[in-house]
Structure 1
């Protein structure tokens, strides 16, 4: 199907982020297992639960709008996940890998923040007020996760510098 209207673009974008969130339900447990920092592991586990809720929220958007999602794969998220997996495979477990995992996770969060921001703008233009609310709730969770990851990185770096 060709994208010709704002609604087509909304459906495509929603389908894409749905695929991205589904991919994250597979990569977050791997990131949690690879982490040696308890706070980071906990953040990944908590975000996995949030991600499941975000998928449910997308299902509610689909229900509210009466649209049907496309079966597509989010290649951007696939690439980000591959990058994170390469780091897990190449870096020995410990503080350096934890730092790499934080960076990888923040790349994901920034992608999701951009995607949800765009979806909210499209939903507003389409007059989908219930969708705007649902998508805004998810956007706030993504921003909070990004902030949490930044705090973990700052605390981790501060603790590491004290040991040197």
Structure 2
């Protein structure tokens, strides 16, 4: 990665985030199928729709700024997606797997919150108000998704998983 100025840094970070979102759009259907709790299934399905809108926003930013994304693969998201596959392969479908899926999904959200926060700061630094507005909209959605996942865990998901494993 050879980055020499703020614009190149922004393009690199936006390209990385675009890759992350594309990877998540492929992983979310698998996560939805792997979940047991209907509310968690619905959360994954809703987040897939949201992710597709977020990809479209990145496309808008590219057009607004007249930039070209780099072809890179987000290694961080690749690792998080792989962790999700490991959960699906190693934990039987039920409350315990759901608890692990929620935890993995929150790791993804925290990564995305950091990515969009960084992008927003870079857009602001460059005076890219329209891009900033779009990035802040996505950042707000990522934070809301993280809160929804926390509520799912706190509203009995983790407790059911613990009770299930004690009974076994």
What range describes the TM-score normalised by the shorter chain of this pair? over 0.9
1:68 equivalent in structure 2: 68
Kindly report which structure 2 residues correspond to 1:95-110, keeping only aligned pairs within 5 A, or say none: 95-110=95-110
Q: Secondary structure at the match of 2:118?
A: helix
* Alignment partner, residue 145 of structure 2: 145
Q: Equivalent residue for 1:85?
A: 85
Deviation at 1:157, TM superposition (A): 4.0
Contact 2:64/2:131 (<8 A) preserved: yes
Structure 1 vs Structure 2 CA RMSD? 1.6
Structure 2 CA distance for aligned equivalents of residues 32 and 157 of structure 1: 15
Cα-to-partner distance string for 1:42-94 (whole Å, 9 max, x where unaligned): 00000000000000000000011000000100000000000111010010000
What is the deviation of 1:2? 1.7
Name the CA distance, whole Å, in 2 between partners of 1:38 and 1:76. 28
Alignment partner, residue 112 of structure 1: 112
- Secondary structure, in 3 states, of the residue corresponding to 2:71? coil
Verify the 8 A CA contact 2:91 2:97 in the aligned structure 1: yes
Describe the shift of the 1:94–1:61 C-alpha distance in structure 2 as closer, same or farther (beyond 3 A): same
Check whether the contact 2:95–2:157 (CA below 8 A) recurs between aligned residues.
no
Aligned partners of 1:131, 1:70: CA distance in 2, in Å?
18
Give the CA deviation at 1:147.
0.2
1:48 equivalent to 2:48? Answer yes
Off by >2 Å, runs of 4+ in structure 1: 156-164
Deviation at 1:162, TM superposition (A): 8.3
Structure 2: give runs of 5+ residues left out of the alignment: none
TM-score (norm. length: structure 1): 0.96
1:32 to 1:157, Cα distance in 2 relative to 1, 3 A: closer
